[in-house]
Structure 1
Amino acid sequence: MHWKMGKLLDNVISDDIDISDEDISSDEVSIESSSLSSDSDNDRVSDVEESKAGTSALADGLSSHRGNTNEMGNLDNSDEENEVVKAILDAKQLCRNHPPSIILEDMITDICFHPAADYIGVASITGDIFMYKYNNEETNLVSTIELHLKACRDIEFSEDGRSLFSAGKDLCIGITDVETEMLTRIYEKAHEQPIYKMTIINQHVFATGDDDGVIKLWDLRRKENEPIFSIKEVEDYISAMITNRDAKYLVCASGDGCLTTLNIPERKMHIQSEEYDEELTCLGLFKSESKLLAASSKGKMYVYNWGEFGLHSDEFPNATKIPINCMIPVTENVVITGGENGIVRATSLFPHRQLGIVGQHDFSVETLDINKDGTLIASSSHNNDIKFWNVQYFETLNVTEPVKGGKQKRMKHNLPSSQINNRSDFFAEL
């Protein structure tokens, strides 16, 4: 059953969340728990010097040990040991190519990269918004904006990065000046039910959707804090909202299992899709915005031609049939998804192919975002953590190149961003 964050925030705190072994696909069992433990990004860059010292001591100790074994005539064992030591030392010399993880005390409800600077905004269940500055060596908290009285569910930066939009369970929409951290505008009681999702359409207009399926359009040029349009065509929560550069259509996914599309200039409903027997959870644009991808609580992905939202043109089954909670496009043809099993996975759309595991969390992945130059993605989970993955290799990845070993091999394959190697690759190097 897909976890709807809107309902979860009302009833559950993160410390009560438990995932049974049955939620983890057998396809991921090949990743050993010891490797998962070693993958933790909780170690900070401040430990680098200790690591170097430990590595040096290890090398010295092994060197001394080799001397002793040479005296005993075990030259063959020393040669083999030399290769192991060399592999350890080479690995320690590798530079970090992504920021270290961020861990909060409270549940993380949304994340959003700044469009022009190396900052990431983090929304929490307490209603606070945290701003972090990041680089490959460290992530530093630079400010805390205490804005909402209840959970802040969605945050979005304006296109120029000067304003931060936020919406939450307290029924309020806030607009904050990023530089001064001052609230420039607030819409109190913007909805009758908690706001679940928000998207910025252009410099003047933005849209919101709530737990009750109500969609509203807002125009910043109006002095009155009233929407310019409101519509309710579904009964369940609005899970995702998206538009393209033309900003003619606003496509909204819902827990009812259908897409509701609005004509923005004419301020009316355009079309509603057929209803699926599953929640539609997230949306993405591909192929120069000519294709719309919708993912579901049953792990399926539906492809629509932009402008033709009544019926999908193609359907992709998920590799593990585990609910997809979020997605982010990284190229015109590759989507990265986050699932309830904690796996961040990459999929090629055309041709359709599972590319492999980008990264992993201990708990369900709830949010994904990509930075300004497309080299980093961030993912957050119910473990109150944010992890960063360097995905620059997708720029040169040939998705049409066949992978030997069949479907199971492709499903289990870990991509370069995942810090867990395939077991076969690990043992092959020893």
Structure 2
Amino acid sequence: MPDISVGTQIFDLIFHPSSSVVYLGLLTGHIKAFSYDDEGGHDVEFTVRPSKRSCRALAISEDGNRVWAAGKAKAMYTVDTGTGRIVDTWSNAHDTAINRLKSLTPTLLASGDDDGVIKLWDPRNANSIRTYTHHFDFISDFLWLGDRKQLVSTSGDGTLSVIDVRSKKSEPIAQSEDQEDELLSIVPIKGGQKFAVGTQLGILSIFNRRSGWGDCVDRIPGHPHSIDTLASLPTTFSPSETTILTGSSDGLLRAVQLFPTKLLGVVADHGDFPIERIVVDRGGEGRWVGSAGHEEVLKLTDLQEIFGGDEEEEEEEEEDGSGDEEKAKTHAGEEDSEGEDSEAEGESSGKEEGPGLPPVSPRKRPTPEEEAQPVADADSSGDEGIVERKRKRKKEKDPLKASKRTKGRNEVVAEPSFFADL
């Protein structure tokens, strides 16, 4: 699909959960919505500018009817996706610029700012529900664990924390030790049992939920620059549980397989521009991945072309193989039927014919005079006919063997049936 040019830097992007629409938060404060199709076309749905300051963060409701936006203006805005109008404004939502937003449930929204403050909101009310101040540097990413009702946050202060939104305490239930590196992004792997965290030094830190959140259980180096953003591979592609998409400041969007660690390839190239955000459409289960950097364009890459090719080839091979087997069976059935017909004809006509051999007359029943002859004469005359007939049959017993040659140098002797299934 052609790149979607927006004319300015893209800070954040998010897809509609059920429609082919993408929303972009821009440096100029604009929020732009684009519709796209599988043929590569795209159209502008609406453009709105709630603030003249940059729009750094976007979040969307589960039904896709509302988009929340926030940024350097310290305020939060609600946009109706159907009309493209601002329907609500929360002024001074934070004391500093808001860096991340995350929609948790239909009645719960999370926000994180540059000072590490996290707030929980009910979109129906103007005031925050709870405030957390355990981080002291910017909030870089959020991850929602729906099965435990827990919010995981990563921060520039080098720690990761876990908040139970059901608890009334304004402190996390767990916080990691200082990883001595900025934690920039997080994504689940292994069905949500483990988590990969991108860092400033280009190392993927692996956390295991069963081992607790105190420290990582593994570190995977390899990226030459910082891992600013991560995304999960849709479950329709294999191996999705151990493959993630990484966006690095070197401008490359990579597909990386973990356990064992393997670089599957480069999905998109942004040149010398760092990648700020990567998101997969349709709630993370679509075929398009959007990536945005500093080059003022949105790249939409078709994952089906990258990860679906092997499956299609296997299906085609299976279809071809089954077709060959059916053809072989049909051919064998025709040969059997032809053989049966020829045998039936031979029996009815009283003749036995072989490839390249003259027809052999049927044996006559001996007359009483012939039966009365000495046994030696009968054996001698019968042996000549039988021997002669046997010699002829020996030549034609298996005509394929006549084509066999003694194995010479650099030659391979194989049965012709070997080539039947090729």
Q: TM-score, normalised by structure 2?
A: 0.68
Is 1:337 aligned to 2:246, yes or no? yes
Q: Which moves more between the two structures, 111-120 or 284-293?
A: 284-293
Structure 2: which 5+ runs fail to align?
Answer: 234-239, 312-422
1:128 aligns with 2:30: yes
Q: Distance in 2 between matches of 1:397 and 1:344?
A: 20
Q: Which amino acid aligns with 2:159?
A: C
1:396 Cα deviation after fit = 7.2
Q: Which residue in 2 is equivalent to 1:287?
A: 190
Give the 5 Å matches for 1:170-249.
170-221=73-124, 223=125, 225-249=126-150
Question: Could you tell me which amino acid in structure 2 is paired with residue 218 of structure 1?
Answer: W
- Quick one: which amino acid aligns to residue 337 of structure 1? T
Query: 1:204-240 CA distances to partner (integer Å, 9 max, x unpaired)?
Result: 001100001101111234x3x2111101112210001
1:391 and 2:303 matched: yes
Q: Secondary structure at the match of 2:207?
A: strand
- Per mean C-alpha deviation after superposition, the further-off stretch among 307-316 and 115-124 is 307-316
Counterpart Cα distance in 1 of 2:78 and 2:307: 34
Aligned residue among 4, 21, 26 for 1:119: 21
2:276 maps to which of 356, 366, 382: 366
CA distance in 1 between counterparts of 2:199 and 2:24 reads: 25
Alpha-carbon deviations, 1:96-148, whole Å to 9, x = none?
xxx21011221111111111111111110111101111122322212101212
> Which 4+ stretches in 1 moved above 4 angstroms?
395-398
Say whether the 8 Å CA contact 2:7–2:297 is kept in structure 1: no
Partner of 1:52: none
CA contact (8 A) 1:129 1:145 kept: yes
In 2, distance between residues paired with 1:212 and 1:226?
19
Structure 1 unaligned spans of 5+: 1-98, 399-430
Contact 2:256 2:265 in 1 (8 A): yes
Match of 2:157 in 1: 256
Aligned to 1:351: 260
Which amino acid in the other structure matches residue 335 of structure 1?
I
Deviation larger for 169-178 or 244-253: 244-253
Deviations along 1:217-266, whole A, 9 cap, x unmatched? 11234x3x211110111221000111122252111111111102111100
5 Å matches for 1:42-57?
none
SS at match of 1:288: helix
Distance 1:175 1:261 in 2: 27
Asked if 1:322 corresponds to 2:234, the answer is: no
Say which of 170, 193, 215 aligns to 1:311: 215
Amino acid at match of 2:297: D
Q: Comparing 388-397 with 306-315, which one deviates more in the overlay? A: 388-397
Shift of 1:397: 5.8
Secondary structure at the aligned position of 2:295 is classed as coil
Q: 2 CA distance for matches of 1:397 and 1:167?
A: 41
CA contact (8 A) 1:101 1:139 kept: no
- The reply on whether 1:101 has 2:3 as its aligned counterpart is yes
Instruction: Return the letter of the residue paired with 2:61.
Output: S
- In structure 1, what residue type is equivalent to 2:299? K
CA distance in 2 between partners of 1:397 and 1:302 (Å): 30
Letter in structure 2 aligned against 1:312: C
User: Relative contact order, CA 8 A, sep 6+: which one is greater?
Assistant: 1
Q: Distance in 2 between matches of 1:106 and 1:357?
A: 25
Aligned partner letter, 1:348: Q
Instruction: From the superposition, tell whether residues 245 and 169 of structure 1 become closer, same or farther in structure 2 (CA, over 3 Å).
Output: same
Contact 1:199 1:241 in 2 (8 A): yes
Q: Which amino acid aligns with 1:123?
A: G
Instruction: Give the aligned partner of residue 44 of structure 2.
Output: 141
**Secondary structure of 2:22's aligned partner:** strand
Q: For 2:136 and 2:280, how far apart are their aligned partners in 1?
A: 31
With 331-340 and 388-397 compared, the bigger mean Cα shift is at 388-397
Deviation at 1:183, TM superposition (A): 2.3
**Pairing 1:151–2:57 present:** no
Return the offset for 1:332.
Answer: 2.1
Find the residue that maps to 1:233 and give its secondary structure.
coil
Identity of aligned residues (%): 29
The structure having more radius of gyration, on CA atoms, is: 2
In 1, Cα distance between equivalents of 2:70 and 2:276? 17
Describe the SS at the equivalent of 1:332: helix
Q: d(CA) in 2 for partners of 1:185 and 1:207?
A: 16
* Equivalent-residue separation in structure 2 for 1:193 and 1:329 (angstroms): 30
